[in-house]
A and B are shown apart, each in its own frame.
Chain A
Amino acid sequence: GRAKRARARHKPCALQQLEVSVSELGLGYESDETVLFRYCSGTCDGALRSYDLSLRSMRSSRRIRKEKVRARPCCRPLAYDDDVSFLDTYNRYYTVNELSAKECGCV
């Protein structure tokens, strides 16, 4: 229940994976082929840099007002996986690059 959700939310940033059909990717391809979709998820609490702290301070002192800034690191791919090729339902081959994460980090 809640405890489990909370624990899940506090997992550090890491690579996760999911088996999905190509159609489910939402890229407009129609194919029943299954691919491995790797993504990055988790928290970056431990990765606050002086940059983030200072940015927060500038924002609260209203030295930075209108601009959109982000004062916390987020969990994103540092590198992407190799290309993925598949045959669609019309027997055409497609190759998609940078579909899947290979390495994650707080950036």
Chain B
Amino acid sequence: AGPSAAPPAEPLGWRAPVDCVRANELCAAEAACSARYRTLRQCLAGRDRNTMLANKECQAALEVLQGSPLYECRCKRGMKKELQCLQIYWSIHLGLAEGEEFYEASPYEPVVSRLSDIFRLASIFSGTDPAGASKSNQCLDAAKACNLNDNCKRLRSGYISTCSRELPAAERCSRRKCHKALRQFFDRVPGEYTYRLLFCSCRDAACAERRRQTIISFRSPLALPFILLSLGFYLFLSPSLARSRAAGARSRLADFHANCRAAPQAPGGCPGDNFQACLGSYAGLIGFDVTPNYVDASPGGTVVSPWCSCKGSGNREEECETFLRDFTANPCLRNAIQAFGNGTDGVPAVKGPSAPATALPPKLERSPALPDAANDSNATYDTSLITTCTSVQ
């Protein structure tokens, strides 16, 4: 990484980027800030945005907090207390950015490193050129590289043994454990290893099948249609579920949208043409409800999709298709995966970090999300949608 990658060595000032756990501590140390924050949290608890903003006190609290480090704070993937950080982030942004907002700002810090950094590291670790393995099976080489590294081997075997276990009776529980083990693998093992396993390029079906099996897709197919991932649904189910599950899955999804959203004007098709950021956000989705994977074992085709369909989306089918297309027909994601397989950064190196994702300004005129979700009958969510979202295998 360039000099821009180093965090600014400032004393703990009131300036971004500071992580939300730290921002929370800074706020707690100031009587005015902590009082406003407490007020806002009470305002948001169990209420939708409009109701909240109708209250003068709540509105004042929000205005004050918008000038505080809490409003600008971000989280890091795999950081200590990540969930706590995300919960703090969403405690301010959740009720403000709409639950049904299709693309949300990412709660994560922008990624400044590039794919070339990974290639450099990978060649240091393995002593070989990662892209030069064209004669052999790249995915097999990636498995070898992982097996020869103690940390990678341990966490890989951790998720494999958890996810490939046959436990039909305790299926829900084992799926949760499997997802957790997958998240640990992708959060704690450096990209030099995980990306090689996930994005290796293939010339034959055996290689492509190995690539597809990387995350043991057949063990985690019970994903939900994206409607069910929306905040409204989580709040509808239970506020505590909304807090933890929405904080995790929605954060990663927002991050994916921020970094992998097709940018037609960029030569590589990605925001800031940062392939590394896109691949990182993609890998960050693994182990959540919206876990994506390769749809088949065709060597050339790199079509990926989360394990759900748009059947049963009702009047939101179009929205659902748009959501799916960000995976299945996304030039940015496709270029990034191919660039990694070819061992190139794909585009001429762009100096300096990409522009940080801008925070969504609170939109005061939009109607709240929650009533939409709450108006639908329980049955819609409880049965039909979940059952239609079966594995696409």
Contacts and interface: CB of A to CB of B under 8 A. Distances in A.
Nearest to A102: B150
A58 to B, nearest CB: 44
Interface string B139-175: 0100110011010011011101100100000000000
Contacts of A34: 143-144, 147-148
A83 interface: yes
A87 B144 contact: no
A55 B143 CA distance: 48
The prevalent SS among residues of A at the interface is strand
Interface in A7-43: 19, 32-36
A86 interface: yes
A82 interface: yes
A86 B142 CA distance: 12
Contacts of B143: 33-34, 86-87
A87 B297 CA distance: 15
How big is the B interface, by class?
20 to 34
Given A91-B210, A91-B213, A84 B148 contact: no
Interface string B256-291: 000000000000000000000000000000000000
Contacts of A91: 209-210, 213
A89 B210 CA distance: 9
Interface string B180-222: 0000000000000000000000000010011001001000000
A93 B156 CA distance: 11
Interface in A69-107: 82-87, 89, 91-93, 95
Nearest to B137: A32
Contacts of B153: 36, 82, 84
Which of A19, A36, A92 neighbours the largest number of chain B CB atoms within 10 Å of its CB? Answer: A36
Contacts of B144: 19, 33-34
Nearest to A21: B144
Nearest to B161: A95
Interface in A41-65: none
Contacts of A84: 147, 153, 157
Nearest to A33: B143
Contact of B147 (A35, A92, A93): A35
Nearest to A35: B147
A31 to B, nearest CB: 9
A86 to B, nearest CB: 7
Given A34-B148, A36-B148, A83 B161 contact: yes
Nearest to B139: A87
A33 B147 contact: yes
B213 A87 contact: yes
A92 B219 CA distance: 12
A93 B209 contact: no
Contacts of A36: 147-148, 153
Contacts of A89: 206
Contacts of B140: 32-33
A19 to B, nearest CB: 7
Most buried by B among A36, A87, A89: A87
A86 B209 contact: no
B246 to A, nearest CB: 31
Contacts of A92: 164
A95 B213 CA distance: 15
A33 B156 CA distance: 13
Contacts of B216: 93
Interface of A: 19, 32-36, 82-87, 89, 91-93, 95
21 contacts: A32-B140, A33-B143, A33-B144, A34-B144, A34-B147, A34-B148, A36-B147, A36-B148, A82-B153, A82-B154, A82-B157, A84-B153, A84-B157, A85-B156, A86-B147, A89-B206, A91-B213, A93-B160, A93-B164, A95-B160, A95-B161
Interface of B: 137, 140, 143-144, 147-148, 150, 153-154, 156-158, 160-161, 164, 206, 209-210, 213, 216
Given A19-B148, A82-B153, A93-B213, 8 more contacts: A34-B143, A36-B148, A36-B153, A83-B157, A87-B210, A93-B216, A95-B160, A95-B161
